[in-house]
Structure 1
Amino acid sequence: MKNSEANLINYLYSQIDAGAFLFNKLGARVIPKSSVVLQGDEYLAEVFLAAEDTTQQPEIIINSRPYEVKDGKATYRINTNEPGTFKWSGLIKYKTPAGVIKNYPFSQEYQVTRPSVTMSATRMNVFYRGLDNPFDVGGGGIPHENLEVTMTNGQVVKSGNAFVIKPNELDELGRRTTVSVYAVIGNERRLMGTTKWRVKKVPDPVAQVAGHGGGTIRKERLLVEDGVMAVLEDFDFDFKYTVTQFNVQVSGAGGYVSVWESNNNRFTNEQKEQFRRLTPNSLVYIANIKARGDDGEVRDLDPISFKIM
């Protein structure tokens, strides 16, 4: 009788765990909602402790097809050839210690978007030769450190999250430079897009005295001015020209007289002396004006003239 009772007790205890799974390995698992997060969105991930039974492998079926299982896991891999939202599902089959097969269905979906970038010149819609042209690139969620910019006729330098375009040829006869943007996605370098841009030289400046390129001026105002300035009008870049030489002629009742030269951007003492002798309605003619830009190129500027009030 006692043996029968003992056998019954052992049987009842064994049935308590008969349908339970037996695991012999634990490990931490992290499943992020997405590996790419746009600015302003939240990063979300599930963290949990996973238990494994290394003595047997589950059977994993995805989209009605069995997959190879290793270390309790199967890898689902599929090429994405077109954009859209795609669903996939499957079933995990696992045998309990009692020999019963239990099914665990699952389903997931993913979204495929076309690779895209936005490219814009920060200051103008053209590139200027000899200048550092700021260039912004947006990678549609791709980190800036994974973006690369190239061009056909110049140099591209990365500066923080922006790029600097340095073209070395002009846009002559309709030719344009092509800018290409590449992204490193995974371990693959992929072309994201190309655009064509005009390349121009920096425009010529205009000569000015007292902030004006000609017209009427008081003799007193002319006398307090230091010289002739070369000004780039409506140009957003930090680029300067400096006048390197100019001539001055003045006219009175007898017409234009001798020419007085300056070898820099300042009025000479001789030129100032002629200004002191000016009378109302006299003309001051400034010509043979040359200016050197920050790029070292010398430009010839149009002459300017003033009438004394």
Structure 2
Amino acid sequence: MSLPKEPRQLMINLMYLVLTAMLALNVSSEILHAFKTINNSVSKSNEAINGKNNETMLAFQANEDMDGQKERVKPFNDKAKEISKEADRVYQYLENWKERVVAEAGGYDVENGEKSIKREDDINASTRLLVENKGGDSIKAQLEALRKYMLDRVSDSSRTMMGQQLAIQIVDPKPNDNNPQGDWSTGNFYNMPTLAAVTLFAKMQNDIRNSEAIVIQRLFDEANAKQIKFDAITAIAVPKTSYALQGQKVEAEIMVAAYNKSVNPQISSSSGQIKIENGVGHWTGSAAGVGMQTVRGQITLDLGSRKITQPWDFQYMVGSTGASIQLDKMNVFYIGVPNPITVSAAGYSMEDVSISIPGAEVHADPARGKGAYNVSVGKLGDIVASIIAKKHEGGTAEVGKMKIRVKMIPDPEPQVGGKSGGIMPASTFRVQSGVAAVLKNFDFEASFKILSYSFSMTKKRDPDIKGPFVASNAYFHSSPQIQALVEQCKPGDIVYIDDIKAQGPDGRVRTLPTIAFKLN
């Protein structure tokens, strides 16, 4: 094709080419908004993890400062301090790179005291600084060095396992047409919008904080594993009977959380008798009164150089003679599910015994036998169940009662393919049908229905975030866009599922935490 000779036509053609190039490089505002949302979320997560790490370091120092513990704890605490210091340095190193990339893209706009990046969609700044000028190579080297630094400070027996758990994982991309050498910097930063680069740095900082948390917790555990004498106690009082009739024998055990059979503590009690054997106190008393009874006392342990004293208490319910209420599954009632109970009353025919629970619906359960009921509750708090029996001389009487706490069913865990995030093979993810809400470690039969969620995906070789797309139920096929992304997912893609809404049998709509998967 020959070029036009007329200057005016030549200028028009050049302007058309420039416009086409600008349109091809334009990053949509929706995608930038998604990056901004993810960046804000990851930044808040970084703050939370850093707070927990600081708490662990304070606990580490408190253990070292205890009498007789410095020699045992200090070597591990020193390593934890070194790791936190090095993690802070690399974290700040990435923070500086954020500012350099933003400055290269034109800096910030300030409005009403809030900063925003002027050119969020600029793809040249990250390419120039991190790919062409080799800044990405320095970042990669810093992360690899930090990972090795952390692993070198845990025990040899833990190093392989910790290497698999650390969030800092440096993996070179596979070579392709755009990155024939499989260069790490090119794979991560080439033609990356400024806001996306800032988000990626935040994710790397998140990996640093998570890795820091794992390693210092491991050092904390290793320090405690070498402990010969316990350095703190928590008093525990365990009643053998939670419900008793007047005059019946009531027993409980009072002990320290970590105890030594050769050291007997001193234990006082507000009632009953205590016998101490092999470091454990055995409480024995007689049930008196009607209703909830509380027994309190103190436990003192002589450690030689100091004495530790802790309070203890436990509760048990006393009913009227001959009547009792048994909660068949849990010691509380849950809203939204039938709560099975069994009522008994010695000296009365079960046909003459009933139960009254104001604020609850009570239904007899003949399939389980006489005295069996299912209770449905709808309000949080405490309720009182009363056993009512017909008297031989006529009329009725309350022969027993029990205060019961009412709680909400706990939140379920969002899962895809039985996992709540992490690494999943792309082939496995492609065959999943949707998101499930799994209620773990709950004795009742209760299911949650997924109402909606937001689905986003970052493709390995495409800096643009696909989504978010909203599903109207648990299944991916409820949204054609989501189903298409699932079917097309490949290793290296990252999936984000957030704003998950689920409804349980109690009718309450819960917002479940975000889950993310890195496909391999």
TM range (shorter): 0.5 to 0.7
Task: Give the letter for the 2:380 counterpart.
Answer: L
Unaligned runs of at least 5 residues, structure 1:
1-113
* Distance in 2 between residues matched to 1:270 and 1:300, nearest whole Å: 23
Residue number among 370, 374, 394 corresponding to 1:164 in the alignment: 374
Task: Give the letter for the 1:271 counterpart.
Answer: I
2:113 maps to which residue?
none
Task: Give the letter for the 2:411 counterpart.
Answer: D
2:346 maps to which residue?
140
* Aligned-pair CA distance for 1:255: 5.9
Task: Give the letter for the 1:275 counterpart.
Answer: V
* Aligned-pair CA distance for 1:243: 0.5
1:259 maps to which residue?
468
Q: After the TM superposition, which residues 172-187 of structure 1 pair with which residues of structure 2 at under 5 Å, given as runs?
A: 176-186=382-392, 187=394
Secondary structure of 2:337's counterpart equals coil
TM-score, normalised relative to structure 2: 0.35
* Distance in 2 between residues matched to 1:241 and 1:177, nearest whole Å: 26
- The alignment of Structure 1 onto Structure 2 pairs a total of residues equal to 192
| Contact 1:288 1:301 (C-alpha < 8 Å) held by counterparts | yes
Secondary structure of 2:484's counterpart equals helix
Residue number among 331, 336, 361 corresponding to 1:125 in the alignment: 331
* Distance in 2 between residues matched to 1:128 and 1:241, nearest whole Å: 15
* Aligned-pair CA distance for 1:155: 2.3
* Distance in 2 between residues matched to 1:115 and 1:271, nearest whole Å: 63
| Contact 1:223 1:272 (C-alpha < 8 Å) held by counterparts | no
Q: Does 1:223 align with 2:410?
A: no
| Contact 1:219 1:276 (C-alpha < 8 Å) held by counterparts | no
The RMSD of aligned alpha carbons is 1.8
Say which structure is richer in strand.
1
Residue number among 497, 503, 510 corresponding to 1:299 in the alignment: 510
| Contact 1:215 1:306 (C-alpha < 8 Å) held by counterparts | yes
* Aligned-pair CA distance for 1:273: 2.1
| Contact 2:430 2:489 (C-alpha < 8 Å) held by counterparts | no
| Contact 1:129 1:202 (C-alpha < 8 Å) held by counterparts | yes
Task: Give the letter for the 1:125 counterpart.
Answer: N
* Distance in 1 between residues matched to 2:449 and 2:377, nearest whole Å: 23
Q: Does 1:247 align with 2:457?
A: no
Structure 1 pair 188/263, CA: closer, same or farther in 2 (3 Å)? same
Task: Give the letter for the 1:266 counterpart.
Answer: Y
Task: Give the letter for the 1:284 counterpart.
Answer: V
Which has more radius of gyration? 1
* Distance in 2 between residues matched to 1:232 and 1:141, nearest whole Å: 42
* Aligned-pair CA distance for 1:124: 0.9
TM-score, normalised relative to structure 1: 0.58
| Contact 1:284 1:305 (C-alpha < 8 Å) held by counterparts | yes
1:196 maps to which residue?
403
2:358 maps to which residue?
152
Secondary structure of 2:476's counterpart equals coil
Secondary structure of 1:270's counterpart equals helix
Structure 1 pair 219/271, CA: closer, same or farther in 2 (3 Å)? same
* Distance in 1 between residues matched to 2:423 and 2:374, nearest whole Å: 43
Task: Give the letter for the 2:475 counterpart.
Answer: R
Secondary structure of 1:259's counterpart equals strand
Q: Does 1:282 align with 2:282?
A: no
1:273 maps to which residue?
484
Residue number among 438, 442, 448 corresponding to 1:235 in the alignment: 442
Unaligned runs of at least 5 residues, structure 2:
1-319
* Distance in 1 between residues matched to 2:329 and 2:346, nearest whole Å: 22
* 263-272 or 291-300, which deviates more: 291-300
Q: Percent identity?
A: 29
2:237 maps to which residue?
none
> 1:13-34 CA deviation, whole Å, 9 max, x = no partner?
xxxxxxxxxxxxxxxxxxxxxx
* 193-202 or 140-149, which deviates more: 140-149
Structure 1 pair 277/133, CA: closer, same or farther in 2 (3 Å)? same
* Aligned-pair CA distance for 1:141: 4.7
Task: Give the letter for the 2:449 counterpart.
Answer: T
Say which structure is richer in helix.
2
Task: Give the letter for the 1:184 counterpart.
Answer: K
Secondary structure of 1:124's counterpart equals coil
1:20 maps to which residue?
none
Secondary structure of 1:210's counterpart equals coil
* Aligned-pair CA distance for 1:190: 2.0
* Distance in 1 between residues matched to 2:483 and 2:335, nearest whole Å: 38
Task: Give the letter for the 1:256 counterpart.
Answer: I
* Aligned-pair CA distance for 1:281: 3.1
